[in-house]
A and B are shown apart, each in its own frame.
Chain A
């Protein structure tokens, strides 16, 4: 029996690793690990600047999916035969490595979900319905993605609870003095994003969590834009719930994680019911399986989870501190280059690259973001245009829409230069 196609056996990041030079990532070398970055769009090389929407996948991840389907495709936790045991071992092994990646104390506290959205819905339905009552306060922020907004709206409507919002400054920082006031309302929960998907703001999670705990609130953090881009240690942050999506961190779609403290998960009722999440079932009653499977009803996305395990190995090989340094440097370069070379452009979000993720939202005065994105596409540059699932934030900034460039480990200064050239072309076309 060969195990070579199963992930987690290589040793990336060794001393001879050409992807790291003088302690820094060499994105030009890293790009070779991502097959799609060698392709073309409209006959020109692909310049992928939409990693905040979904990241590209390295060969190691693609091969992990392929290896499972070709080599040991079987259901998990069931079959008493070789390939099923291998599938179970790969699936649970991936869980352990994903949990370790965010420094979860125990891997059984890591629930495999489809994405951050599902994780938040799980918490809102299970913990929320059991713990939120009439008149209870939930504190959110103006920065939130719809995924960390709408589930709480549904819960609040059902329970008669109240939503309060931490406003932002024009630059996109949470107004901490208002947060301190809102905590006096004794909220049951404070839920906010670690890194804004639209403005890139990095929020002070540990400080805000300590304040919330002092006020008696639990804390849920949306880490969809943080786990792919900076070191995350849920124990150091001190949070109660932490959620993320696999597909934004070089992993497959359909993978993601909910981490929560064990005592919370043990007290929570199940979210979805069915096979795998039970211990015993009679016609009229059932008892629940232990963690984490209590929250994983039905056959999970086995291949995606194994693929996310491979993505975590890949990122660990690069080193998350180096990933953060690379993207911080790139965002600083982009903010300067774009402002200098694209006259009249509006850039949004924190100006301090040290407090900002690799996300650059912008608008040209002469063209709508959709037109900008469409024209950039013709020169191979992929950016997002629209409201990026943050309609209230756009309302707050008084913008109908924005265009957004975003980075990952494979993004280079050449990508930023291609964006700048593309934007100058758009201006030429719209000004002529």
Chain B
């Protein structure tokens, strides 16, 4: 009945992929929409410039959590350069549903958090890696 709540969106919400904390993350980033209470923590494990592992935890609406599940699937195993160029439009395409302006913040939470994680990673230098595990939690 509802475009926004297609089966695969609900499926990602009920059983999110890559859900759970990483043992040895290169970077940990928290993101939140204070207005609605959506919240995620995104972790990346980067080895030799490739996102080898990715995990997220969080709570919030179906759109925010399904979006994080889809995004983490997409970036896993990709070189950082590819992840860098993964834009908001790419995520909207992945979601494949019409997002109203009021829900855009929900849909974009995982992407904004990813951008934050990438900047954090850049600031801590290319050598940032497994010895910084868990920093920021």
Contacts and interface: CB of A to CB of B under 8 A. Distances in A.
Contacts of B35: 386-387
Contact of A370 (B2, B34, B39, B103): B103
A321 interface: no
Interface string B36-77: 111100000000000000000001111100000000000000
A400 interface: yes
A260 to B, nearest CB: 33
Nearest to A366: B14
Contacts of B63: 370-371
B92 interface: no
A183 interface: no
Interface in B64-114: 103, 106
Contacts of A391: 34
B1 A371 contact: no
A375 interface: yes
Contacts of A368: 36-38, 60-62
Interface in B15-40: 34-39
Tier of interface size on chain A: 10 to 19
A429 B37 contact: no
A264 to B, nearest CB: 36
A65 to B, nearest CB: 27
B59 A378 contact: no
A429 B34 contact: no
B103 A374 contact: yes
A68 B38 CA distance: 45
A371 B34 CA distance: 16
B62 A401 contact: no
A399 to B, nearest CB: 8
A153 B72 CA distance: 40
Given A375-B2, A375-B5, A400 B62 contact: no
A367 interface: yes
Contacts of A430: 10, 62
A387 B34 CA distance: 9
Nearest to A386: B36
A385 interface: yes
A401 B5 contact: no
B5 A370 contact: no
B36 A370 contact: yes
A370 B10 contact: no
A374 B10 contact: no
B36 A429 contact: no
Contact of A371 (B37, B39, B59, B62): B62
Interface in A30-77: none
A132 B10 CA distance: 53
A374 B37 contact: no
Interface in A378-432: 378, 385-387, 391, 394, 399-401, 429-430, 432
A371 B36 contact: no
B4 interface: yes
Contacts of B103: 370, 374
A368 B1 CA distance: 19
A150 B2 CA distance: 39
B61 A370 contact: yes
A374 B61 CA distance: 11
Given A368-B61, A370-B63, A378 B1 contact: yes
Interface in A7-50: none
Contact of A401 (B1, B2, B4, B37): B37
Contact of A429 (B5, B39, B59): B5
B131 to A, nearest CB: 34
Contacts of A394: 37
B2 A378 contact: yes
A269 B1 CA distance: 59
A394 B35 CA distance: 12
Contacts of A429: 1-2, 5, 10
Interface string A333-369: 0000000000000000000000000000000000111
A432 B133 CA distance: 38
Contacts of B61: 367-371
B106 A370 contact: yes
A399 B5 CA distance: 24
A102 B137 CA distance: 53
29 contacts: A367-B61, A367-B62, A368-B36, A368-B38, A368-B60, A368-B62, A369-B61, A370-B63, A370-B103, A371-B5, A371-B62, A371-B63, A374-B4, A374-B103, A378-B1, A385-B36, A386-B35, A386-B36, A386-B37, A387-B35, A387-B36, A391-B34, A394-B37, A399-B37, A400-B36, A400-B59, A401-B36, A429-B2, A430-B10
Interface of B: 1-2, 4-5, 10, 34-39, 59-63, 103, 106
Given A368-B62, A369-B36, A400-B38, 13 more contacts: A367-B61, A368-B36, A368-B37, A368-B61, A370-B38, A370-B61, A378-B2, A387-B35, A391-B34, A399-B37, A400-B39, A429-B2, A432-B10
Question: 3 closest Cβ contacts across the A-B interface?
Answer: A400-B37, A368-B61, A401-B37
